[in-house]
Each structure stands twice: as structure tokens, then as C-alpha cells.
Amino acid sequence: MSNIKKYIPGIAAVLLVVIGLGLSFYQNNMQPEQYKKYYIDAFDTATQIIGYAESEEEFTKRADLINEELIRYHKLYDIYSIATGINNLRTINLNAGKEPVKVDQEIIDLLKFSIDLYEKTDGEINIAMGSVLKIWHNYRTSGINDPDTACLPSMESLQKAAEHCDIKDIIIDEEASTVYLADPEMSLDVGSIGKGYAVQRVAEYARELGYNNLVINCGGNVVAVGPKVDESNWIFGIQNPDLEASNDVLKRVAITDNCLVTSGDYQRYYVVDGVEYCHIIDPDTLMPADYFSAVSIITDDSGLADALSTALFNMPYEDGLKLINSIKDAEAIWVFEDGTIKYSENFESYIVE
């Protein structure tokens, strides 16, 4: 307690300086300007950073630091490419059934977080499904590149791959900082959770640097770090999954110190015999999920929101509602194929006109 008291005067002085600076901006109509910066080099998607600074140069330096941290996580969680100088998820997959791989703590933390969500979602989020998802990825890519030859994988091949998706075969040794896949035919795929988890960690990194009043939007994973500089909420639109509708925004929501994540069948899909097959695969059927057009989540953790949006997309509405109600401060909106909209108990409190 004595150590805490020792630093109270210094803390108070810092608070007074910050408050004083804020007042001087408002009194002299010199609010920091809002700036936006765009990047396209993390998680194979576009990233937008919105925030405030006294100059564009200052904001660019901040945004570049944030994006560099996001790129670092992208390299760690990449399942397609080896990253120079580090062992990433691709390295772990290549060594399945061979030997443990020494990894950075950020990988162990992600895997532990994902295993916990596997339990909470009754297996609807399973990062050990790489063998199944790889088949769908290859067929989808081929179908997009050559629509005339687009086809579905056989159920036999999917069921055979599903024999190698036991999450218990992920062996983590925290003391040695290693990860080992006990099944040589298993592979990890964190597409349902990795980007959201990384964006949350990067948002926390920005806050540690003292960068508040900003938004990180990485491919639709939106995290607000504090309110706007005038203390108002950030307003974001939820994409209308009906891309032919006259209004491309389904609902507008206000967020501050929380996040918004959407999973939808309109984002990545391919067409076989006139039928669209989305990229979200139901672990129970091994087929693309078809309960909804989109599910959006608002909560205070982007990794959790990312996982929940996928889990609820894969579940009947009643099951998803039960799950979301069991998680504190998490809300959801479901958009059905016929356009019907349903909400969890408190989601509508976030909606603005």
C-alpha cells in the first residue's frame, strides 16, 4: 500500500496535465483532427485505422506502429506461408506427427483461447479442422478461378479428413514453449478466430502506447479503443447481406470500448450448379452452413466476437440464442435467408437511427 501512495501525486499530476490539455483544445477550438489510414498487408484483407492527432504526420506514425504489430500477428498465425525467422502455425502444421515446435507465447495464448472456446461452443469452433477446411478451400479456389468446372468435394473425402480433427491432439507444453500435433494428418486453421484475436491484442497494444480515441477495422473486425475525442460514440454500419438491396447498410450501431464482428455467406463463396456455397463450414455436417445470411456480434473482445459470429452462424437460432445469453456482455443479431431479423436481448440498445 505504501508504494501505491508513493505514486499517487505523480499519477494525479499526469491526469491534471491530460485534462488540462483537453480543456485547452476545447477552449481554443483546437481539437485534434481526425485522420484515416488504409493498409492491405495483414490477414489478406484491408485494414482501416481511424484516430486523432495534432498532425497527419503524427497520426501516420501511430497508425504505422499499429499496422506493424498487426502484421507481426499475421505472420505468427499464417497457415499458408513460412515466416522468416519465426515458427508460425504453418511450421506447426508441417511438423504434425513429427516433433514439437518451439513457438512464441502469442501462439500458445491463441491456441489456449481457442481450445477454451471449443468447449464453450460445444465444438462449433474447432481450430483442429484444418484437414476439412483445406479441402473446401481448394475446391472453392478452383471454382472461383474456373466457374465452368466448379464442383463440390465428396462427402467421403470430407468424412475421412474429419477423422483427423480431434482438438485433444493439440499438445501444448507451456514450460518448453512448444506445440505438437499428435496426429500426423491434422492441421490447424484459425480462420474462425485468429484475425479477431489479433485485432484485440493490437488494440490493447495501442492503448498501452497511449493511443486512445481510435478504431481499428481489419476486414470487418472492428474494435473501438475509447470514444471519439469529443466523447461521443463511434457509429458503424452492419453490411446488408442482400447485396442487391437499395440500402447497403442493414443497421447502424454505436460502440465505444467494444467491438463489432460479422460472419456472412455473402463474403466468400463459390457457385456450383447455380447454388452459392459459403466459406463457413459447419463442423457437424462438414458442409457450408445455411441457417442465416449473416450474424453480427457486439462484445468487449474481438477474438470472442469473431468466434461467436462463426459459432452462431453454424447453429440453429434457438441454440445460438442460448449460447449468447450465457456469455456476459455479448449481443447478437441474426439475419435469416428470407431477410427476417432477430436480436439477442440487449442488441437493440446499440442501434442508432
The pLDDT of residue 29 is: 55
The pLDDT of residue 1 is: 38
Residue ranges of the domains in the chain?
1-30, 89-181, 233-353
Query: Please, what is the Cα angle at 275 between 237 and 294, to 5 degrees?
Result: 20
Provide DSSP, 95-141: TTTT--EE--HHHHHHHHHHHHHHHHTTTSS-TT-HHHHHHHHHHHH
Contact of 98 with 209, CB cutoff 8 Å = no
The pLDDT of residue 243 is: 78
Alpha helices in 186-344 (DSSP H): 194-208, 302-313, 317-325
CA distances from 135 to 191, 287, 324 (A): 14, 11, 30
The pLDDT of residue 23 is: 32
Contact of 309 with 267, CB cutoff 8 Å = no
Q: What nine digits make up the cell of 135?
A: 479441402
Q: What nine digits make up the cell of 1?
A: 500500500
Give the Cα separation of 353 and 346 in Å (integer). 16
The pLDDT of residue 198 is: 98
Contact of 189 with 93, CB cutoff 8 Å = no
Q: Give phi and psi for 180, each to the nearest 5.
A: -135, 130
Give the number of other CB atoms < 10 A from CB of residue 282: 15
pLDDT in tens, 13-33: 222 223 233 333 333 456 789
The pLDDT of residue 31 is: 75
Q: Which helix (H) or strand (E) holds 351?
A: strand 351-352
The pLDDT of residue 244 is: 77
CA distances from 230 to 46, 190, 200 (A): 27, 37, 23
Give the number of other CB atoms < 10 A from CB of residue 154: 10
Contact of 262 with 220, CB cutoff 8 Å = yes
Name the architecture of domain 233-353.
Roll (3.10)
Q: Give phi and psi for 168, each to the nearest 5.
A: -70, -15
Give the Cα separation of 223 and 214 in Å (integer). 9
Closest CA relative to residue 152, chosen from 291, 289, 272, 282: 272
- For 89-181, give the CATH class: mainly alpha
**Rounded average pLDDT per 10-residue block, the chain, 353 residues:** 33 28 41 93 95 96 97 97 94 98 98 97 96 97 96 98 98 98 98 96 96 94 95 94 83 96 89 94 95 96 97 96 95 95 96 91
